[in-house]
Structures are given as C-alpha cells and as structure tokens.
Amino acid sequence: MRHLLNPLDLSVEELTNVLDLAADIEKNPDKYREVCKHKKLATLFYEPSTRTRLSFESAMINLGGSVIGFSSADSSSASKGESVADTIRVISCYADICAMRHPKEGAPTVAAEFSRIPVINAGDGGHQHPTQTLTDLMTIRSLKGRLDNLTIGFCGDLKFGRTVHSLISALVRHKNIKFILISPEELKIPDHIREDVLIANNIPFEEVTTLDDSLADLDILYMTRVQKERFFNEEEYIRLKDCYILTKEKMEKANENMLILHPLPRVNEISVEIDDDPRAVYFKQVQYGVYVRMALIMTLLGLHV
Ligand code: CP
C-alpha cells in the first residue's frame, strides 16, 4: 500500500508517470469516467480549504467514485477528543483512500501508520503540501514544456508557505534549476529547506528582499500569501501582510514568457488587474489540480484503464 505524505514519496519516474497520466486524462476524460466505480474517497479536513478538498472530490466523482468526509474538525469527533490514529482506523472501514489536511505537522504521517487505506497529505501545518506540488509541476510542464533549465522566483511567505517547501523539494531533482527566494527577513525559507534541500543538493539560490530587481531573470514567479493562520502575533501579520504586491507596473519589468503561479487563495499579493495578462496562469493551475488528483487516486489505488 502506498501513501503520499511528502512529494519525494514518488520517485522522478513515478512522478513522470503521474503527470503523463494526468495529461492523458486532460485529453481523454471520457476514458476514465468509470475507473473508480464503487470506490470511495474520504476527505478528512481539520483545516479550511476550497481548492484541495473540492478538487479531490471533483477528481473522484470524475472517475465514477463517491466521496464522504468532513470539512472541519468541529464537525467531526475530533471535537470530542478523538485521536487521528483512532479516526483513521474508523475511516479505513468506510473508504478505499483518504485525503487529510491537518494543522499539525506530521498528522497525516501518524494517520498512515494506523491506516489500512492509502493516505494522501492534503497539507499539514507549515510543513508540506504534496498534491499542490503535483499541480504546480503539471502547470509548469504543460505550459513551459519542461521541468528543467528553469529560474524560479518564490515570493512572499517562504517561512510558513508549505507549497513552497514541497515544490522546492521536488524541483531540485531536475537539471539546471536556480531559485531566487524573495521574502522579508522575518519570512525567509526555513533552515531545513535551505540546509537540507538547497545546500545539500548544490542548488544555486539567492535570498533577496525586493521583487522588482529579480523579475527580468525569472521563467516562473511563484507568488504566495502571507499565512495569517500561522502567526502568533496579529500585529506582526498586519505589518508583513502586504509586503509584496504584484502590479501591472511591476509586470512591465518581467520577461515576456515568465509565468505567474500562485497556489491560491490570493489576498492582496497579486493585483486583480493582472488576471487578464496571458502570463497569469493561476486559474489554469487550479484546473490542472483536478487532473493530477485523478491521476494520483488511480495510481495509489493501482487502477488502470
Ligand atoms: N492551494 C490550496 O491549498 O488551496 P486551499 O487552501 O483552498 O485548499
């Protein structure tokens, strides 16, 4: 039985297979309409979500399967004190596969230890978000045609942004990747990514505090929201929340082929006036999220057409 707890749980070859399958699903959706008939997905969301939960549900329904689950800890027996270990033992009796989002880092890993069904980490605290990474990789590969030879700028909350941690960890396995890490001092990339991922793999990277100077050099700009829910101090959040705002004026400095990705939700960090710029692909990114989750469900359940 396979789980997806971390983007590195899939080898590069397995990842390529998932992306190839997702690309085929995009082209031939009807072929996959019944592949999960009589299968159930459980969505166990202890934290709010729009895209991840609903794209998983959409993915399973597109595959002909069914969905059960809860969308907040308050509406589950976690509110009565039930542990993640006990919950997953119970869910293993009801469903064939589950996607779990939890505010505590490592909670899906604990679930996997006690589970009889594949567990997918749908975001754990400020740690990892591997299915967003699959979404981001499919977006880049589909729209740029490659996952190597790229200069990628990550901008905003690089400390708490779990999508950033997961995507960097996955991209370092590809050739000739360079990162420009744009953040205020307070929201710099954590040591475990700087030391154990970037430095350990000899990946070229720069850490800077201004966005404007980097734009001309980037193939991809990955914007992120300042993660309000991870701050202990509201004043600090208010001081930092609008540290970067991508505007039409700033985009004039960017490469004409640069793509703007964002895991969403967006707050203020990308001006809505950019939404019509062909380089703004964050809503296309959302659509790719459904195809890769369909491919992932099939892969973890060992299903083929
Ligand atoms: N990208 C993402 O994780 O969005 P949600 O929080 O809405 O699921």
Domains in the chain: how many in total? 2
In a domain, 295, yes or no: yes
Give the residue, 182 or 234, on which the prediction is more confident: 182
Quick one: 92 and 150 in the same domain? no
d(CA 40, CA 96): 5
Pocket test for ligand 1, best of 132, 222, 293 (most atoms within 8 A of CB): 132
Report the mean per-residue pLDDT for the chain. 96
Give residue 236's pLDDT band: very low, low, confident or very high (50, 70, 90).
confident
Concerning whether 101 is annotated as a catalytic residue, the answer is yes
Half-sphere exposure of 96 (CA within 13 A, CB side): 17
Q: What residues form DSSP beta bridges with 101?
A: 45
Quick one: 258 and 294 in the same domain? no
Position 132 pLDDT exceeds 90: yes
Quick one: 270 and 297 in the same domain? no
Quick one: 46 and 87 in the same domain? yes
Cis amide linkage into residue 265, ω under 30° from 0: yes
Position 110 pLDDT exceeds 90: yes
Structure tokens at 94: 């009801």
Residues 187-209 have pLDDT tens digits of 999 999 999 999 999 999 999 99
In a domain, 101, yes or no: yes
In a domain, 56, yes or no: yes
Position 240 pLDDT exceeds 90: no
Mean pLDDT on 127-149: 97
d(CA 304, CA 16): 16
Residues 156-175 have pLDDT tens digits of 999 999 999 999 999 999 99
Share of the chain above pLDDT 70, in %: 100
Mean pLDDT on 44-51: 97
Structure tokens at 70: 């809860």
Atom of ligand 1 nearest to the CA of 122: 3
Mean pLDDT on 59-66: 98
Q: What residues form DSSP beta bridges with 102?
A: 124
Residues 75-87 have pLDDT tens digits of 999 999 999 999 9
Quick one: 48 and 122 in the same domain? yes
Quick one: 236 and 297 in the same domain? no
Bridge-based pairing of strands 177-182 and 66-70 is unpaired
d(CA 35, CA 138): 22
Quick one: 135 and 275 in the same domain? yes
In a domain, 2, yes or no: no
Q: Yes or no: say if 69 and 44 are a contact pair by the CB < 8 Å rule.
A: yes
Tell me which residue range forms the domain holding 251. 130-285
Those residues with Cβ within 8 angstroms of residue 291's Cβ, 6 or more apart along the chain or in another chain: 22, 23, 25, 26, 59, 138
Position 20 pLDDT exceeds 90: yes
Concerning whether 250 is annotated as a catalytic residue, the answer is no
Q: Yes or no: say if 279 and 251 are a contact pair by the CB < 8 Å rule.
A: yes
Decide whether any atom of ligand 1 lies within 6 Å of the 132 Cβ.
yes
Which CATH number does the domain housing residue 33 bear?
Answer: 3.40.50.1370
In a domain, 1, yes or no: no
**Which of 39, 40, 43, 52 is labelled catalytic?**
52
Quick one: 241 and 108 in the same domain? no
**Quick one: angle between helices 12-27 and 130-144, nearest 10?**
70
Decide whether any atom of ligand 1 lies within 6 Å of the 51 Cβ.
yes
SS3 7: helix
Give residue 231's pLDDT band: very low, low, confident or very high (50, 70, 90).
confident
Given this model, what pLDDT does residue 128 score? 93
In a domain, 293, yes or no: yes
Decide whether any atom of ligand 1 lies within 6 Å of the 50 Cβ.
yes
Given this model, what pLDDT does residue 229 score? 81
Give residue 43's pLDDT band: very low, low, confident or very high (50, 70, 90).
very high
Position 59 pLDDT exceeds 90: yes
Quick one: 124 and 198 in the same domain? no
Position 235 pLDDT exceeds 90: no
Decide whether any atom of ligand 1 lies within 6 Å of the 229 Cβ.
no
d(CA 127, CA 199): 19
Those residues with Cβ within 8 angstroms of residue 20's Cβ, 6 or more apart along the chain or in another chain: none
Given this model, what pLDDT does residue 126 score? 87
Quick one: 107 and 229 in the same domain? no
Given this model, what pLDDT does residue 304 score? 95
Quick one: 76 and 86 in the same domain? yes
Give residue 10's pLDDT band: very low, low, confident or very high (50, 70, 90).
very high
Q: Yes or no: say if 134 and 297 are a contact pair by the CB < 8 Å rule.
A: no
**Which of 3, 39, 51, 225 is labelled catalytic?**
51
**Which of 40, 53, 101, 165 is labelled catalytic?**
101
Given this model, what pLDDT does residue 227 score? 84
In a domain, 91, yes or no: yes
Mean pLDDT on 180-191: 95
Cα 105 to ligand 1 centre (Å): 16
Given this model, what pLDDT does residue 232 score? 78
Read off φ and ψ for residue 81, nearest 5 degrees.
Answer: 105, 10
Nearest CA to ligand 1 atom 3: 52
Quick one: 143 and 271 in the same domain? yes
Locate the DSSP E strands across 156-258. Answer: 177-182, 205-208, 220-223
Pocket test for ligand 1, best of 44, 52, 56, 162 (most atoms within 8 A of CB): 52
Given this model, what pLDDT does residue 242 score? 83
In a domain, 159, yes or no: yes
d(CA 176, CA 83): 44
Give residue 111's pLDDT band: very low, low, confident or very high (50, 70, 90).
very high
Taking residue 81's Cβ as centre, other Cβ atoms within 10 Å add up to 7
Concerning whether 141 is annotated as a catalytic residue, the answer is no
Stated pTM of the model: 0.96
